[in-house]
Structure formats: structure tokens, C-alpha cells
Structure 1
Amino acid sequence: MKNIKLTIEYDGTNYNGWQKQKQGKTIQESIEKAIEKIVKEEVSITGSSRTDSGVHAKGMIANFITESRVPPERFREAINTKLPDDIAIIKSEEVPLEFHSRYNSKGKTYCYTLINRREKVALLKNYVYHVIEPLDIKLMEETCKYFIGKHDFSAFKTNGSSVKTTVRTISDLHIERDNEFIKIFVTADGFLYNMVRIIVGTLVEVGLGKKKPEEVLSAINTGNREESGHCAPPNGLVLEKVYY
């Protein structure tokens, strides 16, 4: 029996997210079917993150248990031959049987990409959030500091999602600009449902002058979802890296 760890890249545009569902095509199901064709046994893969419909990944980590004698490093090539073009296994390796891609994770980095211009976006519409009005990047950067550290992020999760605790620690939140492209990087020990997208939506509202930085601090302190910003669309979000 072996535990195989996979590093996965995918374009989430045409999928109903990572997690297997009764209806709709998912990343998890697509990979499981590909693996099962190779190992000739039923397989269940565990992902480090349950990305939503339309969200992408460069460094999703997953693992599965198998009795197969296929050399661990050969799974990468073998699985890729059975996968659609929008999912790729970047690396396959054997890890201890007790390794769990989700529960052993120490943190994750996400990157969210905005494009800030008046002109319509065609080529990159599945990978960026198009903001038409000019953004005040300096003000957005100043606001980032309020999120850094250990906080109760109740105001930055979708209402109705239940978790044991809403306290998370953000170790890094910064913005990089390249002409019309704006990338927001956030690293934390864990994330609440839609937390990154609500943080991005909040920063966008600050950049548009719809919210003041002090109002964002108030939202963090009160935990009131109505005080934070909108939930940015999924297509600009990429899971960059998972830490162990």
C-alpha cells in the first residue's frame, strides 16, 4: 500500500469546483477517473483545498492510497495521458501513509488578478476580474496592513458557512502592479469560505473610494459581514502554493 502525493495545475473555468458532486463536472472526479484507469481499482483522492467553480490552481496538492505497483514518479506521466487538457499533474511522489494533504497543511498562498482598464476584456476574461474605474492602489496597499496577523475574519466569509472557528492568521498580504494588471497575494494558515474573494472585493471598494480604510478595520473588529466588501468573482483567483 502506497500514499501518492500529487501537485496539480488546472484551469477551473469549465468545472463545478474541486469537490465531487452528484451533478456537474469536477476536478476531483476527473482525476479520480484518470487514476482508476491506471490502477484498476477504486480510488479516492483528498485535496488540500476545495476550490469553487471557476477558480484555478497552480499548486493544488492531493493524495491517494493505492495498492498499485506503478513507481510513484511514473504516476505523473500516466495520469496526464488520461486527463483533459485543462488539468495537469506537475509532480507525483510517495509520502508516508499518514500524510493528509488537507489536515497536514500549514498554510496556503492565493493570488488574485485584476485588470484595471475601461476597454472590454476578451482574451483573459476567464482569468481576471475586470474593474473599469481607476483604482487607488496606494490606498489599497495601506489597507492591506489591517488584515495582517491573527484575527476573527467573520466579516470576510460567506454567511451560512459553518466552521469551528473563524480565527485565522494572515502572514502576508501585498499587491503587485504591472501596468493594467494588479495581483493581490495573500498567505494564511487557513481560509474561510470565500475569504480571499471578499478581502479582494473589499480592497477594490477601497480603491474605488467606496470604502475608507478605517471602515475595513471596523469590519475586522466587529465581524459584521455587512461592513466588508462584495465577494469578487471566482475567475481571478488562483491557488498558488500549499505549505507543509
Structure 2
Amino acid sequence: MFNYKLTIQYDGTNYAGWQIQKNAISVQQKISEAIEIITKEKINLIGAGRTDAGVHALGQVANFKVDVELDLYKFQYSLNSILPSDISITSSEKVNENFHARFDAKSRAYIYLISKIKSPFYDKYSYRLPYIAKMNITYLNKISKVLIGEHDFTSFSRKNTETENKVCDVKNIWWKETKNFILFYIQADRFLHGMVRTIIGTLLKTIEKKRDENYILEILNKKDRETAGEAVPTKGLFLYKVRY
């Protein structure tokens, strides 16, 4: 069989997340159906990360296997022609038969956009939070660093998650300010359901309450979702990059 790797961008606004679901439309479903139309084969599309409903992607990665070798230029053109305008295949390549988009990934990185101003062009893809312009980004970066390393992120994941192992290794985390935006970046080996948005909400809550990194450590150690802050909206979150 031939194994193919896709790099994907999508606007998650109209989808119930990446993963195929029974009673909702997902990104995985749309791409799988389009590939099956072209290849005339039933395929199993494996994604690197299961983004939640409403979350976007700049660099989602997936792979699938088929019996027939594909003309990649023609295949990618045809696939993008079939897919809706809010999903795009930005690259496609043939990879080793053993490549697995999810299990071979070394880390995933997400970015989150917070807009400082009201703009009709920013509203769909960022969380407008005017008061954040007054926040000390240097201090936000300082308190965020306490999350780097291996930690049990039970306090930052949804209560009803089926994942038993809540330990994640955060490799990098930072905030950056531009004229109109605050950009949040986080990279880890894996993420729990709702984890990134809850981390952001908790960090914002920490600085609002004028607390320090010990407050975040207390939340981590309690392993209780009720102690963490409210999750920020999904519309500002993007799966930025998957590293192998």
C-alpha cells in the first residue's frame, strides 16, 4: 500500500471539531469523503491532533493509505476542488508505509489570538479583550514558565474527558504583543481536551487577581478543574504546527 501525508488548514467555525462524529459534521469526515471520491477506495484518515469544535488549524497533519499510487499534483488539485472553501490541503507527499500522523508526532504547537481593538476583520478568528492592552506581558511570560515541563494537567482538562493519563510535557510557552494583538504560543508533546483554552483563561485570571506563579502551582497540584479559570472562546485558537 501507499502512504500519503497531508498538511491541512481549516476554519473550524462550522465544524464539530476534527474527529468524525455520528450526528455532526467534522473536518475529518469532509476530507475522508473527498479522498474516497477521488481514489474510489475506503480510507482511514489519521489526524495528528483532535481539535475541538470551533478550533482552527494552520498546520494540521494527517495520513492515509491507498492501494494505487497517486499523481500528487493532480490529486491535491482535485482534492482542493472538491473540498469546501473553509478546508485546504496545503501540501501532500508520499511517506514511509509506517508513518503515523498521530503516534509519530514529537510535539504539537497551538497559538491563540487576542485582539485589543474592535474590528470586523478580527472578530471571527480572535477573542476581543480590550483590557488586555493594559496587562504586563513580561509578567504574563514570567508566570507562564512555571507550566514548562512534565505536569499532571487534570485541573486544566474537561471533567468528562476519557483520557486517564493527564500528564503532558510542555516544551515551550510564551506571550507576544503586537499593535493590535496579543499572541499566545504553547508547544507540548500532547494536549488534553480543552487544555490550551483553560490554561489561557487561568493565566489571565492569575494576572487579574495580581497573583504569582505559586497560584498556578496550587491549581496544578489540586488536580481539580474547579480551581482553574474559565476557558477562553474557541474562535481564537489555532493548531499551528506538528513536529516529527
Same fold (TM > 0.5):
yes
Deviation digits for residues 135-182 of structure 1, max 9, x if unmatched?
Answer: 332331121111011111111111121223111111100011102300
The answer as to whether partners of 1:219 and 1:228 remain within 8 angstroms in 2 is yes
CA-CA distance at 1:212 after TM superposition: 4.3
Q: Give the TM-score normalised by the residue count of structure 2.
A: 0.93
- Structure 2 match to 1:53: 53
Q: Counterpart in 1 of 2:179?
A: 179
Matched, 1:132 2:127: no
| Structure 1 residue 187: Cα displacement | 0.4
**Structure 2 residue matching 1:126: 3-state secondary structure:** helix
| Residues 107 and 190 in structure 1, CA contact (< 8 A), matched pair in contact too | yes
Q: Contact between 2:52 and 2:193, CA under 8 Å: does it hold in 1?
A: no
Contact 2:115 2:122 in 1 (8 A): no
Give the 4+ runs in structure 1 shifted more than 4 A. none
Distance 2:23 2:119 in 1: 31
Q: 1:79 to 1:34 in 2, by over 3 A?
A: same
**Residue aligning to 2:190:** 190
Partner of 2:115: 115
Contact 2:9 2:89 in 1 (8 A): yes
Deviates more, 1:93-102 or 1:127-136: 127-136
Instruction: Please tell me the residue identity of whatever aligns with 1:67.
Output: D
Opposite residue 188 of structure 2, the aligned amino acid is A
Pair 1:65-2:65 in alignment: yes
Structure 1: unaligned runs, 5 residues or longer: none
- C-alpha RMSD over aligned residues: 1.6
C-alpha separation in 2, matches of 1:146 and 1:220 = 10
Deviations 1:163-204 (A, max 9, x none): 231111111000111023001100001111111111111112
Instruction: Indicate conservation of the 8 Å contact 1:216/1:227, yes or no.
Output: no
Q: Which residue of 1 aligns with 2:85?
A: 85
C-alpha distance after superposition, 1:60-79 (max 9, x if no partner): 00011111332245432221
Distance 2:177 2:192 in 1: 26
Q: 8 Å contact 1:137–1:207 — kept in the other structure?
A: no
Equivalent-residue separation in structure 2 for 1:184 and 1:230 (angstroms): 16
Alignment of 1:1-244 (within 5 A): 1-117=1-117, 120-134=118-132, 135-209=135-209, 211-244=211-244
Counterparts in 2 of 1:48 and 1:230: CA distance versus 1, 3 Å: same
In structure 2, what residue type is equivalent to 1:144?
S
Q: Which amino acid aligns with 1:31?
A: I
CA distance in 1, matches of 2:226, 2:22: 33
The alpha carbon displacement at 1:103 in A equals 1.2
d(CA) in 1 for partners of 2:16, 2:243: 25
Q: C-alpha distance in 2, partners of 1:220/1:74?
A: 49
CA deviation string 1:35-66 (max 9, x = no partner): 11111122221111111111011110001111
The alpha-carbon distance between structure 1 residues 156 and 126, as it changes in their structure 2 partners (threshold 3 A), is: same
Equivalents in 1 of 2:235, 2:129: separation in Å? 13
AA in 1 matched with 2:21:
Q
1:232 is paired with a residue of what secondary structure?
A: coil
Shift of 1:124: 1.7
Residue identity opposite 2:35 in structure 1: I
AA aligned to 1:147 is L
Cα distance in structure 2, aligned partners of 1:149 and 1:19: 28
Q: Any gaps of 5 or more consecutive residues in structure 2?
A: none
